[in-house]
Every structure is written in structure tokens, then in C-alpha cells.
Structure 1
Amino acid sequence: MRALIVDRSAPGQLRLAEAPDPVPAPHQALVRVTAISPNPAEFRYILPGAPDGAVIGWDAAGVIERAAADGSGPAVGTPVTTLGLSEGWAELRAVDTALIGTVPEGADLGAMSTLPVSAGTALRALRALGPILGRRVLITGASGAVGRFAVQLAARSGAYVIAAARKPQLADELRGLGADEVVTGPDGVTARVDGVLDQVGGPDLAAWFDTLGEGGTLVLTGAASGGATAFPPGGLLADPTRRDRSIVTFFEMSGDGIDRDLTWLAAEVAAGRLRPHIASRGSWADAADTLDAVRESRLTGKAVLDLTG
């Protein structure tokens, strides 16, 4: 099979080459991949430690080529979207059936490849906030892939959504996704919130935490800023209006039900009720510029690479 393999001598440390076909375990299905969607975190956390010849990649969509030997998961020929810790950027992927979502027939598999990490993180992180109907929810990094999905899902769940994005020119776009307010930083939040979904971390984390009211929760899903967080003296202490606040760490691939979540997300996108924002799409045979843009976090949405050419 062909794959984007790690090669330290190649530009960007990746090149399209032949690689051994994967051998599925009994609980894994073999997927013929048709589209992949790289994430900045793969370049930040996975690529630096991967050996030459390795195949990395979390998000991939395609069609079941061989069903799992243990009888679990979708049947041969089923279109799917898949999640895994590695080996997604290849023509064939062996993937745990617990990490496979089925896709409605005829749906765009390129769009479906954007869902596992970004939409899955948004969905499961919002659940970690608890019930949000009628509550004030702040979403940082709202113009990014996770943020755009989170804004839509939080609004549909009945929350009052405050979207934080550094670029004020994106305000109308974010309101169109369901945001009630758009701010460019912590100073723009004028009233306490019940929950924060933070993907940025770094220097502003303490300030975002300070926006929480009594019983509020901040779910930390990422550290896109790359910076350190320092809380001021007393920043973690309580007062009568800010008791019982918490910071919750997050790992998308923990817990059951990922297959159900991916299946639901795929159906919502196929029906037009949830919109992925694809900022770049092209063939993986000519992907250097796109991969660089993802690596440097220059895209405000997802990149899709079709396995053609």
C-alpha cells in the first residue's frame, strides 16, 4: 500500500511511499481509506518522536474492506469514519471497531474524515461540562476546527454561547454558527460563565478560569498556545461567588461509546445539521503546502487530503 511515511531526510519529514499492509487483530476491521484530515497536534506531539518509516495519523475515512474477525463492527462495504492513535495516513488502516463510526451512504467521505478528533473532542468535552441547557458556556479557540464544532453543538444544546477568537473579522461567521457573543480575549467576558471549553491553554488559561462562577468547570482539551500557565497569587482560591470551581483534563479516546458518537456526528453532517469547516482540500500526492499550513496552524478550519493521484 501507499502511505505518508516519516522520513527525516524529506521536506517536512514526510513522503509518499510504499509501506507494508497492516495486519488486523481480531477486534479490528481493515479500512480502505479514501480521505484523511491531519491535525496540528500530530505535528506537535507525534511526528517528533516517530521513527523513520512509521505511519502516523489519527483521522481517516473510507470503506470497510475486511470486517473484524471477532464479528464486531461494520460489514464489508460500509462507509466509515475512523479514529486511532496512529497509522491513519495510508491506503489501508487496521482500526479497532470501537473507534469506527458508520457513515450514511452517499455522504462525502472527505467531510467525514474531519470528524473524529475535532468534532469528537467538541462533543465529548461539552459533555464533561455537564448539563448546559440555559447556561453560559465560553469556548476558546472558537475559530479553529474543534471550536467551530463546539459552538454549533453548544448552541444546539441550549447554552448561551460565548465564542472567543483572536480575529474580530470572524465574529459574524461565528454568530452564524450559533454564538450569542464573540470576544477576542478574557477582558471581553463581562459576566461569570458556568463552563469553559479551552483548547488554547498557556498564558490566558488563568484568566479564562477566572471567568467561572460558582460551581463552574473548565475543560482543558489542548495547549495550542504552546506557552506555560501561571496563576496569580490567590488565583485558585475561592470567594462567596466563586466556590467549587474546577479544571478538568481531557482525553478523547477514554471511555466507551466512541463508535456511537462518530456515527451520530456523521449522520448530523450528512443531514446538514452540523457543518464542518474545510479550509483546504486536495490530493495527498501534492500535499506539501497543505501539511505545512496544518503544521503551522495557519488554517482556520480543517484540511482534507483525498487519496487520489
Structure 2
Amino acid sequence: MRALVYDPDAARGVRFAEVDEPRPLASQALIKVEVASLNFGELAFSARQLRPGQVFGKDAAGVVVRAASDGSGPPEGARVTSFGGTGGWAELRAVDTADLAVVPDHVDLGAAGALPAAGVTALQAVRRLGSVLGRRVLVTGASGGVGRFAVQLAARAGAHVVASVGSLERAEGLRRLGAAEIVVGPPTDPVFGVLDNVGGALLAEAFERLEDGGIALSIGWASREPTVIDFEELRMLGGRRRLEPFGVSGPFGPDVAHLIQLLEREELDPQIGWRGPWDQVGEAVDALFGRRIQGKAVLVLHG
């Protein structure tokens, strides 16, 4: 079957290849992939995550062509979206039924396919902050895939969302998604929580803005710069602040299903900034790395 694989010698590290069809385990459904979405992190750090020749892809949506043999999950013919570590950017994907969710017939598969990795990351990160009702929450890298979901979900949870972007041009649409404030760089006023997708100097400055008892979650590393924090200086200022590296935890199916429900009720916008055939993956990757996509990029394989 045709797939997009990691090749360190290829342009952008991505190339098409013919690979063996997956052999599902008893707990896995086999999906004919119709759409897949790109995530900045899996492309920017592919050398850390993939072996040469391994199939890319955390997110993929399509139709079940073989139900799991253990009887779990949806039947053949069901429309689903899925979240896995790899294997999504291929004509067929085997995925554990605990990590997929059924997509209603009237919901666009492209929108559903944009949800899993970025949406679940944002959802679990907002939960990790605890109650944010009436509290100031800073989202850095707010114009990206995870950032735009985080703005929406934090606002839904009752937070006063401060959206940090690299430039005001990147802030388009963020107020409509729920941002109460938009800043370039760190805010001047204290915040209770930080959902950081950038790292580097911005994370260090955001950490300094935490109020007593506040928490910063390091989610992404778009800057690819080291984060240097002077804890002695912060100790002199007093107060308690927490900084945690954040990672998602499975099974992912229930969280993906929750996001699908929000999407179905038009209470969540997938923010698809680029959609095109997967033969144009190079264009999509260039646009993603060039910060020309606001939100998610979706590749269309079939349909």
C-alpha cells in the first residue's frame, strides 16, 4: 500500500513509499484512511520519534473495513477518527479500538480527522490545570493547532484566556474562539495557568508571570530553543509556582469521542487552515513550518 514514511535524506524528511499492509491485532480495527492531519511536533521532531522507513501519522479518519476480531469497537462500515503513535498517513491503518471514536454521518471527516492529537492534548492539558473558572490562563503558540483548541476549551471551562502569538497577523480569529486578550510574547499581568506550546525564552518569561499557586505546563517546543529559568531569582520574589512537562495519556477514545460531540454540536471549531490532496504533502509541510497555517493542515487521501 502507499504511505508517507520518514526519510532523513528526503526533502522535509517525508517521502511516499510502498509498504506492507498492517496486520491488526485482535483489539485493533483496520481503517481505510480518507483523511489525515499534520502535527507540527511529529514533523519537527521526527528524527527522535521515528525510524527511517516508518509510517508517519498520529491522526487519521476513515471507514472501518475490518472490525476488531475480539468484538470490541465499531463494526465494518463505521466512520471513525483515530489517535495512534504512528501509521496514520497510509491507505490503511490498524488502530486499537480504545483509541478511536465513531464519527456521525453528518460530521465532516476532515474536521474529525483534525481533532485527535491536538484536540486531546489541549483537552487533557486544560484538565490538568484544575478549576480555571474566572482565572487568567495564558496559551502560548495560540495560533497553532494545539493552541487554537486550548483557547476554545479553556474558555469553555470559564477561564479568562490570554492568547499569546508571534505576531498580530497570526491572531486572526482567536477572539471569536474565546480569547479575552491577545498579546505578542508574554503578558504583563499575572496568570494562574500557562499552557505553553513554544518553550524557550517565552516559557521562562511566562513562568515568571505565574501568580502564587499557579502552574505552567510545557506542552510543545515550537521555538526549538532551550528554556533557562533563574529559580534563585524567583525564590527571592517569594510565592509558589509549578512547572511540569506535559504529555497525553491513553486510552484516547473517550476524549476523542467527547471532542466529536462538541464538534457535532458546533461548540468546537477544528480550525482547518489548509486542506488538500496528500500528493501535496510537501506544500502542506512547508506552509506549516513557515507559520502560514492558522490551525490544522489536513491531507485528503480518498473521498
Quickly name the TM-score band, shorter chain normalised. over 0.9
Residues matched between the structures, number:
303
RMSD: 2.0
Deviation at 1:297, TM superposition (A): 4.4
Structure 1 residue 271: deviation in Å? 2.4
**What residue identity is the alignment partner of 1:222?**
G
DSSP-derived class of the 1:300 partner: coil
Residue number in structure 1 paired with 2:274: 280
Q: Which moved more, 1:101-110 or 1:162-171?
A: 162-171
- Asked whether 1:247 is paired with 2:243, we answer yes
Once the two structures are overlaid, the 10-residue window that deviates more, 51-60 or 7-16, is 7-16
When residues 40 and 19 of structure 1 are mapped into structure 2, their CA distance, relative to the original with a 3 A threshold, is same
Range 290-299 or range 141-150, more displaced? 290-299
- Whether the 8 Å CA contact 2:59–2:88 is kept in 1: the answer is yes
The whole-number CA distance in structure 1 between the counterparts of 2:226 and 2:9 is 31
TM-score (norm 2): 0.93
Q: Secondary structure at the match of 1:287?
A: helix
CA pair 210-121 structure 1, distance change in 2 beyond 3 A: same
Whole-angstrom distance in 1 between the partners of 2:233 and 2:71: 52
Cα separation, 2, equivalents of 1:295 and 1:184: 19
State whether structure 2 residue 94 is matched by structure 1 residue 98.
Answer: no
Give the Cα separation in 2 of the matches to 1:171 and 1:44. 22
Supply the AA of the counterpart residue of 1:38: L
Cross-structure match for 1:259: 253
Aligned to 2:185: 185
Match of 1:54, SS state, is: coil
The residue that corresponds to 1:294 in the other structure is 288
How much has 1:172 moved relative to structure 2?
A: 5.8
Query: What letter is aligned with 1:294?
Result: L
Residue in 2 that maps onto 1:209: 207
Per the alignment, residue 24 of structure 1 pairs with 24
Distance 1:49 1:58 in 2: 11
SS in 1 for 2:235: coil
Q: Distance in 2 between matches of 1:171 and 1:8?
A: 33
Q: For the residues of structure 2 that align with 1:74 and 1:220, how far apart are their CA atoms?
A: 35
* Secondary structure of residue in 1 paired with 2:206: helix
Contact 1:183–1:189 (8 Å) recurs in 2: no
Give the Cα–Cα distance (whole angstroms) in 2 for the partners of residues 233 and 153 of structure 1. 31
Label 1:194 to 1:27 Cα distance change in 2 as closer, same or farther (>3 A): same
